[in-house]
Amino acid sequence: RPRVLSGIQPTADSFHLGNYLGALRQWPKLQDTHETFYMVVDLHAITVEQDPKVLRERTRVSAAQLLGLGVDPDRSALFVQSHVPEHTQLSWVLECLTGFGEAGRMTQFKDKAAKQGTDRASVGLFTYPVLQAADILVYQADAVPVGEDQRQHLELSRNLAQRFNHRFGKTFIVPEPHIVKDTAKIFDLQDPTVKMSKSASSPNGIVELLDDPKRSAKKIRSAVTDTGREIVFAPEQKAGVSNLLTIYSALTGRSVEDLESAYAGKGYGDLKKDLAEVLVEFITPFQERVNSYLDDIAELDKVLARGAERARQVASRTLSVVYDRIGFLPPV
Ligand code: AQP
* DSSP codes of every residue in 288-305: HHHHHHHT-HHHHHHHHH
What is the CA(36)–ligand 1 centre distance, in A?
A: 20
Q: How far from 220 is each of 192, 198, 235, 245, CA to CA, in Å?
A: 12, 17, 18, 12
Q: Is 197 in the pocket of ligand 1 (CB under 6 A)?
A: yes
On average, the pLDDT of the chain sits at 97
Distance between CA atoms of residues 159 and 215, nearest Å: 43
Alpha carbon nearest to ligand 1 atom 8, residue: 19
* CB distance 87 to 43 below 8 Å: yes
Please compute the mean of the pLDDT values over residues 145-168 and round it to a whole number: 97
High-pLDDT (> 70) share of the chain, %: 100
Residue numbering of the annotated binding site for ATP:
9-11, 18-19, 147-149, 186, 195-199
Q: Is 272 a catalytic residue?
A: no
In the annotation, is 195 catalytic?
yes
| Sheet arrangement for strand 35-40 | 76-80, 35-40, 3-8, 143-145, 176-178
- CA of 197 relative to ligand 1 center, distance in Å: 6
The pLDDT assigned to 281 comes to 98
Mean predicted confidence (pLDDT) in 134-148: 96
User: Of these residues, 181, 185, 195, 266, which one is catalytic?
Assistant: 195
pLDDT in tens, 234-245: 999 999 999 999
DSSP class of residue 16 equals B
From 24, 190, 197, give the residue whose CB has the most ligand 1 atoms within 8 Å, as the site to mutate: 197
| pLDDT tens column, 249-302 | 999 999 999 999 999 999 999 999 999 999 999 999 999 999 999 999 999 999
Query: Ligand 1 within 6 A of 251 CB?
Result: no
Distance CA 89, CA 87 (A): 5
d(CA 65, CA 287): 8
